[in-house]
Amino acid sequence: MSLPIHREGLPIIGILVAGAAALWILHAPLGWAGAALAAWSAWFFRDPERRPPAIPNAILSPADGRLLPLVKAPPPPELAMGDAPRTRISIFMNIFDVHVNRIPADGTITAIHYRPGRFVNAAFDKASDENERLAARMITADGTELAFVQIAGLVARRIRSTLAVGDRVRAGARFGIIRFGSRVDVYLPDGVAPRVRAGARMVAGETVIAVPGANTAAGGAAAVGGDGTP
């Protein structure tokens, strides 16, 4: 079976493979350890294909990982979206999750802003405010405004994004990667109810986290729970 690898990982994997070969020449047991590290690196940078669901205007999870408690919070101030609280959906990625990030909805990117910061544990609520981050604002295909934010974590030290202002994007398309162990936040449009619950496992580009216009608050759509089922 082939293992799709994100291009961001190729230089790292190459260095580790070369290091493993050098260690093998010096001492075979060390070579085995180096080979195991190189294999783990290849697995970490895996980039599997995803199939977005055919649900009009659906907002998808931008990251694999565990859903943290949902809160009301204003979007990052650098995006100039006002200080009114919105539902924030936060997905925490540990070192075992796929770290390739994906666009949450169809639309157009209207703002991007990188801000340096701290590297506290990305599972902590304060990470959204204090950590290094790259925030993006977009107008979705149905005309609503959405924000999503890549956030560095305790171990992560590199945020990568291919987005540019004016890009027309598709839900589920790749847009970046964070290494290693991090978080992605989504600020839902006003009046849009989430259809996921804290503790659920998210799959980037496939898990539906909200559908604008669906009456999820009144039971019009089932929420996904911590076991991944409605």
Q: Catalytic site residues?
A: 182
* 112: its two tokens: 């991007």
Q: Determine contact, residues 72/94, Cβ cutoff 8 Å.
A: no
Q: Where are the beta strands (DSSP E) in the chain?
A: 59-60, 65-67, 71-73, 86-93, 100-102, 107-115, 133-140, 145-151, 158-161, 168-169, 174-179, 182-187, 201-202, 208-210
| Cis peptide leading into residue 96 (ω within 30°) | no
* 205: its two tokens: 């580009």
Torsion of Cα atoms, 162 then 167 then 169 then 172, to 10°:
10
Q: Determine contact, residues 189/212, Cβ cutoff 8 Å.
A: yes
Residue at 92: amino acid letter: F
